[in-house]
Protein backbone atom coordinates (compact mmCIF):
# COMPACT_ATOMS: atom_id res chain seq x y z
CA UNK A 1 0.00 0.00 0.00
CA UNK A 2 1.28 3.49 -0.90
CA UNK A 3 0.50 6.26 1.53
CA UNK A 4 -1.50 9.02 -0.16
CA UNK A 5 -3.27 12.10 1.02
CA UNK A 6 -6.55 10.19 0.89
CA UNK A 7 -5.29 7.98 3.71
CA UNK A 8 -4.81 10.90 6.11
CA UNK A 9 -8.34 10.76 7.45
CA UNK A 10 -8.00 7.01 8.08
CA UNK A 11 -4.78 7.16 10.10
CA UNK A 12 -4.12 8.47 13.62
CA UNK A 13 -3.63 12.22 13.63
CA UNK A 14 -5.38 12.91 10.36
CA UNK A 15 -4.15 15.50 7.94
CA UNK A 16 -2.36 17.51 10.61
CA UNK A 17 0.40 14.92 10.53
CA UNK A 18 1.15 15.53 6.87
CA UNK A 19 0.99 19.26 7.43
CA UNK A 20 3.40 18.96 10.36
CA UNK A 21 5.84 17.02 8.23
CA UNK A 22 5.45 19.61 5.48
CA UNK A 23 6.23 22.46 7.89
CA UNK A 24 9.31 20.58 9.16
CA UNK A 25 10.42 19.88 5.58
CA UNK A 26 10.08 23.56 4.71
CA UNK A 27 12.05 24.43 7.85
CA UNK A 28 14.85 22.05 6.84
CA UNK A 29 14.80 23.49 3.32
CA UNK A 30 15.04 27.06 4.66
CA UNK A 31 17.98 26.29 6.97
CA UNK A 32 19.87 24.48 4.21
CA UNK A 33 19.30 27.43 1.87
CA UNK A 34 20.62 29.79 4.56
CA UNK A 35 23.70 27.64 5.18
CA UNK A 36 24.31 27.30 1.44
CA UNK A 37 24.17 31.08 1.09
CA UNK A 38 26.59 31.54 4.00
CA UNK A 39 28.93 28.98 2.48
CA UNK A 40 28.93 30.78 -0.86
CA UNK A 41 29.62 34.21 0.63
CA UNK A 42 32.41 33.03 2.93
CA UNK A 43 35.92 32.86 1.58
CA UNK A 44 36.12 29.12 2.05
CA UNK A 45 39.34 29.60 4.00
CA UNK A 46 40.39 27.59 7.03
CA UNK A 47 42.01 29.62 9.78
CA UNK A 48 41.49 31.55 12.99
CA UNK A 49 39.88 34.92 13.50
CA UNK A 50 36.63 36.52 12.48
CA UNK A 51 34.69 33.29 12.62
CA UNK A 52 31.68 31.79 14.30
CA UNK A 53 31.69 28.00 14.79
CA UNK A 54 29.24 27.77 11.86
CA UNK A 55 31.67 29.50 9.52
CA UNK A 56 34.49 27.24 10.68
CA UNK A 57 32.40 24.17 9.91
CA UNK A 58 31.28 25.56 6.56
CA UNK A 59 34.88 25.75 5.35
CA UNK A 60 36.03 22.40 6.78
CA UNK A 61 36.73 19.41 4.56
CA UNK A 62 33.45 17.87 5.79
CA UNK A 63 31.41 20.70 4.31
CA UNK A 64 31.87 19.64 0.67
CA UNK A 65 31.81 16.62 -1.61
CA UNK A 66 34.12 17.05 -4.61
CA UNK A 67 33.87 20.81 -4.22
CA UNK A 68 30.07 20.89 -3.98
CA UNK A 69 28.68 22.19 -0.65
CA UNK A 70 26.76 19.48 1.20
CA UNK A 71 24.08 22.07 1.90
CA UNK A 72 23.33 22.09 -1.84
CA UNK A 73 22.48 18.40 -1.60
CA UNK A 74 20.42 19.18 1.50
CA UNK A 75 18.39 21.72 -0.48
CA UNK A 76 17.69 19.13 -3.19
CA UNK A 77 16.70 16.42 -0.71
CA UNK A 78 14.30 18.68 1.17
CA UNK A 79 12.81 19.89 -2.10
CA UNK A 80 12.23 16.26 -3.06
CA UNK A 81 10.66 15.60 0.35
CA UNK A 82 8.37 18.63 0.02
CA UNK A 83 7.23 17.52 -3.42
CA UNK A 84 6.63 13.97 -2.21
CA UNK A 85 4.43 15.29 0.60
CA UNK A 86 2.37 17.45 -1.74
CA UNK A 87 1.62 14.88 -4.45
CA UNK A 88 -0.99 12.15 -4.22
CA UNK A 89 1.40 9.20 -4.23
CA UNK A 90 4.76 8.95 -2.52
CA UNK A 91 6.79 6.01 -3.87
CA UNK A 92 10.10 7.73 -3.07
CA UNK A 93 9.18 8.96 0.38
CA UNK A 94 10.75 6.08 2.32
CA UNK A 95 14.16 6.28 0.55
CA UNK A 96 14.16 10.07 0.94
CA UNK A 97 13.46 9.76 4.65
CA UNK A 98 16.27 7.21 4.91
CA UNK A 99 18.69 9.57 3.15
CA UNK A 100 17.74 12.39 5.52
CA UNK A 101 18.20 10.08 8.51
CA UNK A 102 21.64 8.91 7.38
CA UNK A 103 22.89 12.38 6.45
CA UNK A 104 21.73 13.88 9.74
CA UNK A 105 23.37 11.08 11.73
CA UNK A 106 26.65 11.44 9.81
CA UNK A 107 26.95 15.18 10.20
CA UNK A 108 26.09 15.04 13.90
CA UNK A 109 28.93 12.50 14.21
CA UNK A 110 31.26 14.85 12.32
CA UNK A 111 30.56 17.72 14.70
CA UNK A 112 30.64 15.68 17.91
CA UNK A 113 33.54 13.31 17.19
CA UNK A 114 35.65 14.56 14.29
CA UNK A 115 35.59 18.31 14.88
CA UNK A 116 34.43 18.88 18.42
CA UNK A 117 32.74 22.08 17.20
CA UNK A 118 29.02 22.81 17.00
CA UNK A 119 27.10 25.07 14.66
CA UNK A 120 23.64 25.85 16.11
CA UNK A 121 22.13 26.26 12.63
CA UNK A 122 23.65 22.99 11.42
CA UNK A 123 22.46 21.13 14.51
CA UNK A 124 18.98 22.62 14.08
CA UNK A 125 18.89 21.32 10.51
CA UNK A 126 20.02 17.88 11.65
CA UNK A 127 17.48 17.89 14.48
CA UNK A 128 14.71 18.68 12.01
CA UNK A 129 16.02 15.92 9.75
CA UNK A 130 15.92 13.34 12.54
CA UNK A 131 12.40 14.42 13.54
CA UNK A 132 11.17 14.30 9.93
CA UNK A 133 12.69 10.86 9.39
CA UNK A 134 11.29 9.42 12.63
CA UNK A 135 7.77 10.82 12.18
CA UNK A 136 7.63 10.10 8.46
CA UNK A 137 8.81 6.51 8.79
CA UNK A 138 6.40 5.87 11.66
CA UNK A 139 3.58 7.22 9.53
CA UNK A 140 4.67 5.09 6.59
CA UNK A 141 4.67 2.02 8.79
CA UNK A 142 1.23 2.83 10.24
CA UNK A 143 -0.09 3.04 6.69
CA UNK A 144 1.47 -0.23 5.51
CA UNK A 145 2.44 -2.31 8.56
CA UNK A 146 5.30 -3.98 6.66
CA UNK A 147 8.84 -4.36 7.90
CA UNK A 148 10.17 -3.57 4.41
CA UNK A 149 9.71 0.12 5.17
CA UNK A 150 12.25 -0.01 7.97
CA UNK A 151 14.62 -2.13 5.88
CA UNK A 152 14.39 0.28 2.92
CA UNK A 153 15.02 3.28 5.16
CA UNK A 154 17.93 1.56 6.91
CA UNK A 155 19.57 0.64 3.61
CA UNK A 156 19.14 4.19 2.32
CA UNK A 157 20.59 5.62 5.53
CA UNK A 158 23.59 3.30 5.55
CA UNK A 159 24.16 3.87 1.85
CA UNK A 160 24.25 7.65 2.17
CA UNK A 161 26.57 7.51 5.22
CA UNK A 162 28.97 5.20 3.38
CA UNK A 163 28.85 7.31 0.22
CA UNK A 164 29.34 10.71 1.89
CA UNK A 165 32.02 9.56 4.34
CA UNK A 166 34.01 7.79 1.62
CA UNK A 167 33.83 10.67 -0.83
CA UNK A 168 34.78 13.21 1.83
CA UNK A 169 37.60 11.13 3.27
CA UNK A 170 39.15 9.83 0.06
CA UNK A 171 38.02 12.52 -2.36
CA UNK A 172 39.81 15.79 -3.02
CA UNK A 173 39.82 18.18 -0.09
CA UNK A 174 38.23 21.59 -0.35
CA UNK A 175 40.47 24.55 -1.16
CA UNK A 176 41.18 25.87 2.31
CA UNK A 177 43.37 28.89 1.63
CA UNK A 178 43.54 31.91 -0.62
CA UNK A 179 46.53 33.23 -2.52
CA UNK A 180 46.29 36.86 -3.56
CA UNK A 181 48.32 38.38 -6.35
CA UNK A 182 48.02 41.63 -4.43
CA UNK A 183 46.05 43.06 -1.53
CA UNK A 184 44.78 46.55 -0.93
CA UNK A 185 48.16 47.65 0.38
CA UNK A 186 46.99 51.27 0.41
CA UNK A 187 45.30 50.48 3.74
CA UNK A 188 48.68 49.92 5.41
CA UNK A 189 49.50 52.62 7.91
CA UNK A 190 52.99 54.07 8.18
CA UNK A 191 55.05 52.14 10.72
CA UNK A 192 58.79 52.47 11.12
CA UNK A 193 59.17 49.87 13.86
CA UNK A 194 59.79 47.08 11.36
CA UNK A 195 62.81 48.79 9.81
CA UNK A 196 64.59 50.01 12.96
CA UNK A 197 68.34 49.45 13.42
CA UNK A 198 70.95 48.17 11.02
CA UNK A 199 70.58 44.84 9.25
CA UNK A 200 69.22 43.17 6.19
CA UNK A 201 66.03 44.85 5.02
CA UNK A 202 63.45 43.35 2.67
CA UNK A 203 60.54 45.13 1.00
CA UNK A 204 57.02 43.71 0.74
CA UNK A 205 53.59 45.07 -0.18
CA UNK A 206 54.87 46.95 -3.21
CA UNK A 207 57.48 48.67 -1.07
CA UNK A 208 54.98 49.94 1.51
CA UNK A 209 56.47 47.76 4.21
CA UNK A 210 60.19 47.34 4.93
CA UNK A 211 61.20 44.59 7.35
CA UNK A 212 64.57 44.49 9.06
CA UNK A 213 65.01 40.74 9.02
CA UNK A 214 67.99 40.85 11.38
CA UNK A 215 66.20 42.85 14.10
CA UNK A 216 62.80 41.12 14.00
CA UNK A 217 62.06 37.65 15.42
CA UNK A 218 62.94 35.13 12.75
CA UNK A 219 63.80 31.52 12.03
CA UNK A 220 66.54 30.54 9.62
CA UNK A 221 69.49 32.62 8.35
CA UNK A 222 68.77 36.34 7.98
CA UNK A 223 70.75 36.38 4.74
CA UNK A 224 68.73 33.56 3.13
CA UNK A 225 67.79 33.76 -0.53
CA UNK A 226 64.05 33.94 0.26
CA UNK A 227 62.36 35.73 3.15
CA UNK A 228 58.76 35.14 4.21
CA UNK A 229 56.79 37.04 6.84
CA UNK A 230 54.17 35.25 8.92
CA UNK A 231 51.40 36.85 10.99
CA UNK A 232 50.13 34.30 13.50
CA UNK A 233 48.56 33.69 16.88
CA UNK A 234 50.29 31.25 19.23
CA UNK A 235 46.97 29.78 20.39
CA UNK A 236 45.42 29.44 16.94
CA UNK A 237 45.10 25.74 15.93
CA UNK A 238 45.55 26.60 12.25
CA UNK A 239 48.71 28.59 13.00
CA UNK A 240 50.08 25.66 14.97
CA UNK A 241 49.42 23.31 12.08
CA UNK A 242 50.95 25.78 9.64
CA UNK A 243 54.09 25.76 11.81
CA UNK A 244 54.52 22.09 10.97
CA UNK A 245 54.19 22.83 7.26
CA UNK A 246 56.71 25.66 7.49
CA UNK A 247 59.14 23.52 9.47
CA UNK A 248 58.97 20.83 6.79
CA UNK A 249 59.54 23.40 4.04
CA UNK A 250 62.50 24.97 5.82
CA UNK A 251 64.00 21.55 6.51
CA UNK A 252 64.04 20.96 2.74
CA UNK A 253 65.73 24.31 2.09
CA UNK A 254 67.62 25.23 5.28
CA UNK A 255 70.02 27.69 3.68
CA UNK A 256 67.50 29.31 1.35
CA UNK A 257 64.65 30.30 3.66
CA UNK A 258 64.14 32.79 6.48
CA UNK A 259 60.81 33.25 8.24
CA UNK A 260 60.04 36.50 10.06
CA UNK A 261 57.59 35.91 12.94
CA UNK A 262 55.05 38.66 13.71
CA UNK A 263 52.53 37.55 16.36
CA UNK A 264 48.97 38.91 16.21
CA UNK A 265 47.27 37.83 19.46
CA UNK A 266 43.54 37.20 19.06
CA UNK A 267 42.95 38.32 22.62
CA UNK A 268 40.93 41.38 23.58
CA UNK A 269 43.23 42.23 26.47
CA UNK A 270 45.67 43.72 23.93
CA UNK A 271 43.93 43.42 20.56
CA UNK A 272 41.21 46.05 20.45
CA UNK A 273 40.43 45.47 16.78
CA UNK A 274 38.47 42.28 17.51
CA UNK A 275 34.73 42.39 16.97
CA UNK A 276 32.18 40.91 19.35
CA UNK A 277 31.74 37.86 17.10
CA UNK A 278 35.41 37.31 16.34
CA UNK A 279 37.20 34.21 17.57
CA UNK A 280 39.23 34.99 20.68
CA UNK A 281 42.03 33.08 22.41
CA UNK A 282 42.44 34.41 25.97
CA UNK A 283 46.05 34.25 27.08
CA UNK A 284 47.48 34.92 23.63
CA UNK A 285 48.66 38.39 24.62
CA UNK A 286 50.75 36.98 27.45
CA UNK A 287 52.24 34.27 25.22
CA UNK A 288 53.12 36.86 22.59
CA UNK A 289 54.78 39.18 25.09
CA UNK A 290 56.82 36.33 26.53
CA UNK A 291 58.01 35.31 23.05
CA UNK A 292 58.99 38.86 22.11
CA UNK A 293 60.68 39.45 25.47
CA UNK A 294 62.75 36.33 25.00
CA UNK A 295 63.71 37.45 21.49
CA UNK A 296 64.90 40.82 22.78
CA UNK A 297 66.83 39.36 25.70
CA UNK A 298 68.25 36.14 24.19
CA UNK A 299 67.46 35.83 20.47
CA UNK A 300 69.46 32.60 20.23
CA UNK A 301 66.84 30.93 22.45
CA UNK A 302 63.86 32.22 20.50
CA UNK A 303 63.42 29.30 18.05
CA UNK A 304 63.00 26.70 20.79
CA UNK A 305 60.65 28.87 22.82
CA UNK A 306 58.63 29.77 19.72
CA UNK A 307 58.16 26.06 18.96
CA UNK A 308 57.19 25.30 22.56
CA UNK A 309 54.40 27.88 22.36
CA UNK A 310 53.17 26.40 19.07
CA UNK A 311 53.24 22.95 20.66
CA UNK A 312 50.57 24.18 23.05
CA UNK A 313 52.36 25.45 26.15
CA UNK A 314 50.02 27.18 28.58
CA UNK A 315 50.76 30.65 29.87
CA UNK A 316 52.02 29.20 33.17
CA UNK A 317 54.19 26.62 31.41
CA UNK A 318 55.51 29.26 29.02
CA UNK A 319 56.40 31.54 31.93
CA UNK A 320 58.21 28.69 33.67
CA UNK A 321 60.12 27.89 30.47
CA UNK A 322 61.11 31.54 30.02
CA UNK A 323 62.42 31.58 33.57
CA UNK A 324 64.74 28.68 32.79
CA UNK A 325 66.36 30.89 30.13
CA UNK A 326 66.19 34.27 31.87
CA UNK A 327 66.36 35.23 35.51
CA UNK A 328 63.24 36.74 37.04
CA UNK A 329 64.82 40.17 36.87
CA UNK A 330 65.91 39.73 33.25
CA UNK A 331 62.44 38.54 32.24
CA UNK A 332 60.76 41.37 34.14
CA UNK A 333 63.02 43.96 32.49
CA UNK A 334 62.47 42.42 29.04
CA UNK A 335 58.68 42.44 29.44
CA UNK A 336 58.77 46.17 30.22
CA UNK A 337 60.44 46.97 26.91
CA UNK A 338 58.07 49.41 25.12
CA UNK A 339 59.15 47.88 21.79
CA UNK A 340 57.00 44.82 22.60
CA UNK A 341 53.68 46.66 22.85
CA UNK A 342 54.56 48.87 19.90
CA UNK A 343 55.36 45.86 17.72
CA UNK A 344 52.18 44.03 18.77
CA UNK A 345 50.00 46.99 17.86
CA UNK A 346 51.84 47.41 14.54
CA UNK A 347 51.29 43.72 13.80
CA UNK A 348 47.58 44.05 14.59
CA UNK A 349 47.27 47.12 12.36
CA UNK A 350 49.08 45.36 9.51
CA UNK A 351 46.96 42.25 9.83
CA UNK A 352 43.80 44.38 9.82
CA UNK A 353 44.98 46.10 6.62
CA UNK A 354 45.72 42.73 5.00
CA UNK A 355 42.29 41.49 6.12
CA UNK A 356 40.00 43.79 4.17
CA UNK A 357 38.71 40.75 2.29
CA UNK A 358 39.70 38.00 4.70
CA UNK A 359 40.42 37.97 8.43
CA UNK A 360 41.88 34.48 8.72
CA UNK A 361 45.20 33.71 10.36
CA UNK A 362 47.82 32.63 9.55
CA UNK A 363 48.84 35.13 6.89
CA UNK A 364 52.06 34.59 5.01
CA UNK A 365 53.77 37.25 2.91
CA UNK A 366 55.67 35.29 0.29
CA UNK A 367 57.01 37.79 -2.20
CA UNK A 368 56.55 41.50 -2.80
CA UNK A 369 52.94 41.13 -3.97
CA UNK A 370 51.95 37.63 -2.90
CA UNK A 371 50.13 36.81 0.33
CA UNK A 372 48.63 33.53 1.52
CA UNK A 373 45.57 33.66 3.78
CA UNK A 374 44.61 30.64 5.88
CA UNK A 375 45.79 27.06 6.18
CA UNK A 376 46.48 24.83 3.15
CA UNK A 377 44.80 21.44 3.20
CA UNK A 378 48.03 19.48 3.61
CA UNK A 379 51.80 19.64 3.97
CA UNK A 380 52.56 18.27 0.50
CA UNK A 381 50.23 20.80 -1.12
CA UNK A 382 51.81 23.64 0.87
CA UNK A 383 55.36 22.65 -0.01
CA UNK A 384 54.50 22.27 -3.69
CA UNK A 385 52.89 25.73 -3.82
CA UNK A 386 55.68 27.43 -1.86
CA UNK A 387 58.46 25.92 -3.92
CA UNK A 388 56.74 27.13 -7.06
CA UNK A 389 56.09 30.61 -5.69
CA UNK A 390 59.62 31.04 -4.32
CA UNK A 391 61.44 29.39 -7.20
CA UNK A 392 63.08 26.77 -4.98
More confident residue, 56 or 178: 178
Write the pLDDT tens digit of every residue in 86-105: 775 566 778 888 888 888 88
278 φ/ψ angles, rounded to the nearest 5 degrees: -75, 145
Supply the mean pLDDT for the chain: 83
197 touches 215 (CB < 8 A): yes
- pLDDT value of residue 333: 93
| Range with lowest mean pLDDT among 150-164, 204-218, 233-247 | 150-164
Torsion of CA 167, 173, 176, 177, to 10 degrees: -160
- What is the percentage of the chain residues whose pLDDT exceeds 90? 36
Q: What is the mean pLDDT of residues 175-201?
A: 74
pLDDT value at residue 56 = 63
CATH-assigned architecture of domain 177-390 = 3-Layer(aba) Sandwich (3.40)
pLDDT at 13: 46
Q: In CATH, what number does 5-170 get? A: 1.20.1440.130
Asked whether 138 and 11 are in contact (CB, 8 A), the reply is no
Amino acid 208: pLDDT: 82
Domain boundaries, the chain: 5-170, 177-390
> What per-residue string of b and e applies to 194-224 under the rule 16 or more CB within 10 Å gives b?
bbeeeebebebbeebbebbbebbbbbbebeb
| Tens digit of each residue's pLDDT (9 = 90 or more) over 343-360 | 999 999 988 888 766 778
pLDDT computed for residue 112 by the predictor: 85
Distance, CA of 208 to CA of 246 (rounded, Å): 25
Rounded Cα distance, 148 and 150, in Å: 5
Backbone angles phi, psi at 149, to 5 degrees: -65, -45
What's the chain's Rg over C-alpha atoms? 27
> Could you read off the pLDDT of 277-309 as tens digits, one per residue?
677 899 999 999 999 999 999 999 999 999 999
pLDDT of 327 strictly over 60 = yes
Same fold, 5-170 and 177-390: no
Amino acid sequence: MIWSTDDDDLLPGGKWFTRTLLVLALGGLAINLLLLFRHLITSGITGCGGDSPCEELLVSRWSQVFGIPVTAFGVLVYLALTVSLLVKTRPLLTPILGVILGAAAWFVFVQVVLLGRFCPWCMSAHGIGLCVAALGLWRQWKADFTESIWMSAALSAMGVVLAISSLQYYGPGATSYRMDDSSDFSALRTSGIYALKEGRKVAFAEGRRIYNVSALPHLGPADAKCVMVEYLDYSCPSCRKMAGFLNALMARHPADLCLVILPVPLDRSCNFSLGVNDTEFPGSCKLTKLALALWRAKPQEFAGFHQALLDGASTDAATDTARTVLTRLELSDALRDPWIDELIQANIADCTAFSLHNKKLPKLLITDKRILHGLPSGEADFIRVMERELGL
